A and B are shown apart, each in its own frame.
Chain A
Amino acid sequence: MRLLLVDDETEFLEMMGKRLVHRGIDTAVADSGRKALDILDNREIDAVVLDVKMPGMDGLQVLQEIKRRKPGMVVVLLTGHADLDTAVQGMDSGAFDYLMKPVALEELLAKLHEAMDERQPLDSSA
């Protein structure tokens, strides 16, 4: 699985990125929505873990843009700022799930595998 981790908090990116790589997951990181979209345009990515609260383009905008460009992309929202409105908006915009920090690595991985499992048949028709 090739994963893109998007969060404006570089400490989190570094720590989570390392742990994912240790688990054998090919992980790219981006510290802003713009960079995330650039990476998605230029690299093969299977799933995105996206922070909601970011300066500039926020997570929801990034989500909508990703879904516009690649409707089948798996996006899991991960936020440190629980907010019911954003959560529901995110799910409505096609997020696979909405998780809250702190998140256990195992939980995140399980979510991603589940998402990958579901995504593949859709892709094969695309």
Chain B
Amino acid sequence: MSGLWSAFRRMISRSQAANDADEAFHASRLLERCQAFRKLLAANNQALGAMAAIDELAAGTEPFTMNQVRSLCTEVAVRVLQMVQQVEALAPGRYPGLEAAFRAIQQELADVLRREPGPSSEAPLIFDLQGVDCAMASVVGAKSANLGEAGRLGFRTPPGFAATTAAYALFMASDGLAEEIDRRIQAAGAKALDEAHALSSSLQQLVMRSALPESLALELNAACARLAERLETGEALRLAVRSSAVGEDGEAYSFAGQYRSVLNVGLEDVAAAYKEVIASKYGVTAMSYRLARGLRDEDAPMGVMVIHMVDAAAGGVAYTADPATGRCEHVFVHAVFGMPKAVVDGATESDVYRICREPLEIAMSCIGSKKTKLVLARGEGLAYEHSPGDVAGAPCLKPEQALEVARAALALERHFGAPQDVEWAFDREGRLFILQNRPLRMPETPMDYAELEVAQSDILLSDGVTASAGVGVGRPYIVRKQADALRLPKDAVLVVRNALPAWASLLDRASAVVAELGGAAGHLAAVAREMGTPALFGASGAIAALARAEVVTVDADRGVVLSGDRSQLLSRKPRSPRVMVGAPVHDALLRAARLTTPLSLIDPDSPLFDPGYFQSLHDVTRFCHEKAVEAMFAEDDDRRFPQASALRLSYQGKPLQYWVVDLGGGVSPAAPPADKNRSSRLDVEMVACRPFRALWRGMIELPWSGPPALDMRGFASVVAQAASNPDLEPGRSSAMAMRNYFLISDEFMSLQSRFGFHFCTVEALICPVSEENFASFQFKGGAADRGRRVRRARLLADVLEGYCFIAENREDSVVARLEGASVREMENALAMLGYLLIHTRQLDMVMADNARAEAEFKRLRRDIDIILSRNARRAVEETSWKNQGTAGSN
């Protein structure tokens, strides 16, 4: 509809020239409403799309971040707010409770999404490790807490201190560092995390460039000075600065090796090393890990452990169980010369001891060729040093030292109550130090996987999208209208043409639902997901394929329908592990999803269909959509067409009973300039309006066979009606005198017409953005008696429903609409409407009984199929013609 406003302005100026303010007013009202309605549809689609994404994340099988949750919920809230605003524009003041009801839910949602306050920066910034135990893990991080605990148990640990999460919070709060990090992560796009090197490096540089808050810098210096004094090293003190994140090394999350440790640091570099460790929180692996495990940024505050650097003669790790199998008979000690880090890096072979627990003795030892070793470098860090051959092949531990390590590891296991992974070192005086201890990660038992083997002939349908995951078994039952719905057997597979919200009430009775049209973003899909009913949508040909089937199995996950009961086979199918379930991000998402995606307002006729009963933003969208449709397509005075600037349409030289008003772009520039005379003509071929052209094609595609042959009673009924209809009195100025008007622009069309005794409007927008397209059709009245009129209206509704329209039929009126279809689908829909406009004229007269109605239904369907197939052929020809054109021009 771009350009409609400028069209409107031209219209106004033309009308003002014609001194017809009334006309201008009505045209402007119509345009405003179209604009509001179009915005509402676009917002509705965006909101539902974001809700579908939220539901998808809620399944917990794919990793996601808190930023994604916030973005999606914000998207939903903004779009729903736009819908509320547009409903107000369409029907000012009609729904006073709407906005307040929206605000209440939005406020609750905002509370759920609010960032949890980080660790309080009131707590001490630094703790001496001597004062730390494992109860303090949330303050100092896991590594400091475990090592502090080991020290208290009497193990020799390097002296040092822990910088707390309060120190981290203080740093992150200074100069809005945390918010800037958040902003950059979101701006980079959460999906791009796997190629996030650029982002990671920008975040790490940002942290490195930020100055430490003064109080923190002072306390770090003071703690280092106390340590130097205690160890009597003075300026020569060397330190290890290591990450100690909350949750790191925990039982649930290991973060193994993702954060940085800076070893052999001099006093003057402690502040920089501190920042380097904090920055490693934004390393690519660490970020991906948090993403994969559903940890929010605030779930992993960073403590930092600063300890005296042990100058190791030998070191390594010890496991109190076999990390590959999880078996607990032996303790494994891996040892190298120099710093233990060489074992973890895998840079050299190591000596491996397998040690029996009870009695504690070496069951097996395997001495590796340790050609290099890690030693303290002269400046900062560690350096590899070559070991001569005879040294390399010598064991780096005496047997009793290996047993000493095993004994310590087992004592830690006993204390912590789980198999341990211990990093240790012997210093040059032969004293054993525990450098780090954490729970040992045990292997998970792999799941059995059975691949499905199904014969091709058993696959009834394989074309559909998963609207709600799962597998359902049952007898297919096809529901075409509400009356069918009442007879839906329990646990049947519900099969429908359109995934209409109206079918939501059937989902608890159905074992699965299959729809030929509709996608994962619709209302029905959302309800199916919420109720856990497997749903397969967009399964074209489903009705034909399942009409005669006995029991079928709907495997919504794979998008197939199989004949027979395959639940046995399918139950062995491994489901994607729900990795996110239980993760903090997932919990937050579920709380937000409860306020966002469930749909409880289903039936617009129910008294509960009211803002007072909103439970989620989905309810708000459903309500707004329903009320917008009502306001948009309600009949009222605003719909009168401007009379002044109308041109009369002609076709093949003959004038028609149609007039057009061009709002701009609706008439080909090649048309001869219209004179100011009202009777000026416009050839149909000169109309450039897209929906008009599609409609017109349907109107003329098949010849009208003229008024249907009447039975006597039908004719009598018309005469009786006419006699009592005041509109038929000659000379009376009435709605009957109104002509058939098209209001057109390049992409928009609004037709108001009376064909004979019935009143009909068609409005449509066709533009390249499918989400904004819509067509609406309203039909009411007729000349025959009520029974016949009602039968015709029902017939029309049935035909329209068969072709993607959502149709409602009450008495002798039909209201049908189609939204969000592609250009091609819209053109087909309008061609069909054009056909129906012409070919259902006076059809009411012959609708004596249901048998006749059935016959007419078949005739209309057959004709429409002809029109659609011709449209398709034309499209193919156009494409090949265009392709030839391109080939020629190359």
Contacts and interface: CB of A to CB of B under 8 A. Distances in A.
Contacts of B110: 84-85, 88
A124 B74 contact: no
Contact residue range for chain B?
20 to 34
Interface string A40-59: 00000000000001010000
B30 to A, nearest CB: 14
Contacts of B184: 80
Of the listed residues A12, A80, A114, A124, the one surrounded by the most CB atoms of chain B closer than 10 A to its CB is A80
Contacts of B77: 84, 87-88
B186 A100 contact: yes
Nearest to B69: A82
Interface in A96-113: 97-98, 100-102, 113
Nearest to B1: A117
A29 to B, nearest CB: 17
A10 interface: no
Given A102-B188, A102-B189, A120-B9, A84 B2 contact: no
Given A82-B186, A84-B70, A120 B78 contact: no
Contacts of A83: 70, 74
Contacts of A82: 67, 70-71, 74-75, 186
Nearest to B189: A102
B874 to A, nearest CB: 30
Given A82-B67, A101-B187, A87 B5 contact: no
B106 interface: yes
Contact of B71 (A12, A100, A118): A100
Contacts of B74: 82-84, 87, 98, 100
A120 B183 contact: no
Contacts of A53: 179, 183
Given A88-B77, A88-B78, A101-B187, A81 B179 contact: yes
Interface string B57-98: 000000000010011011101100110010000000000000
B106 A88 contact: yes
A13 interface: no
Contacts of A102: 187-189
Interface in A11-26: 12
B402 interface: no
A121 B5 contact: yes
A80 to B, nearest CB: 4
Interface string B291-311: 000000000000000000000
Contact residue range for chain A?
20 to 34
A120 B187 contact: no
Nearest to B7: A117
Contacts of A84: 70, 73-74, 77, 106, 109-110, 113
B186 A80 contact: yes
A81 B186 contact: yes
Contacts of B82: 91, 97
Contacts of A79: 183
B4 interface: yes
Contacts of A87: 74, 77-78
A81 B183 contact: yes
A10 B77 CA distance: 30
A117 B187 CA distance: 28
A32 to B, nearest CB: 15
A87 B74 CA distance: 7
Interface in A49-94: 53, 55, 79-85, 87-88, 91
Nearest to B75: A100
A121 B6 CA distance: 8
Interface in B104-127: 106, 109-110, 113
A88 B81 contact: yes
A118 B5 contact: yes
Nearest to A122: B5
Nearest to B110: A84
B130 to A, nearest CB: 42
A121 B8 CA distance: 9
Given A88-B106, A98-B78, A81 B6 contact: no
Contacts of A98: 74, 78
B5 A117 contact: yes
A113 B186 contact: no
Given A53-B179, A101-B187, A91 B9 contact: no
B186 A101 contact: yes
B625 to A, nearest CB: 19
B154 interface: no
Interface in B458-497: none
Given A118-B5, A118-B35, A80 B183 contact: yes
Contacts of A120: 5-6, 9
Contacts of B703: none
B399 interface: no
Given A83-B70, A91-B82, A102-B187, A114 B75 contact: no
B2 A114 contact: yes
Given A88-B106, A91-B82, A117 B2 contact: yes
A83 to B, nearest CB: 7
B6 A117 contact: yes
A83 B184 CA distance: 14
Nearest to B202: A11
Nearest to A100: B71
Of the listed residues A12, A82, A114, the one surrounded by the most CB atoms of chain B closer than 10 A to its CB is A82
A84 B79 CA distance: 11
A121 B2 contact: no
A96 B214 CA distance: 43
B3 A117 contact: yes
A67 to B, nearest CB: 16
A117 B75 CA distance: 23
A75 B301 CA distance: 37
B176 interface: yes
Contacts of A118: 5, 35
A121 B13 CA distance: 12
A84 B113 CA distance: 8
Contacts of B3: 117
A85 to B, nearest CB: 5
Contacts of B2: 113-114, 117
30 contacts: A12-B187, A53-B183, A80-B184, A80-B186, A81-B179, A81-B186, A82-B70, A82-B186, A83-B74, A84-B73, A84-B77, A84-B106, A84-B113, A85-B110, A91-B85, A97-B78, A100-B71, A100-B75, A101-B187, A102-B187, A102-B188, A102-B189, A113-B2, A117-B2, A117-B5, A118-B5, A118-B35, A120-B6, A120-B9, A121-B8
Interface of A: 12, 53, 55, 79-85, 87-88, 91, 97-98, 100-102, 113-114, 117-118, 120-121, 124
Given A80-B186, A117-B3, 18 more contacts: A53-B179, A80-B183, A80-B187, A82-B74, A82-B75, A84-B73, A84-B77, A87-B74, A98-B78, A100-B71, A100-B75, A100-B186, A102-B189, A113-B2, A117-B6, A118-B5, A118-B35, A121-B8
Task: Rank and list the top 10 A-B pairs by shortest CB-CB distance, nearest first.
Answer: A80-B187, A101-B187, A80-B183, A82-B71, A81-B183, A82-B74, A82-B70, A84-B110, A117-B5, A84-B74
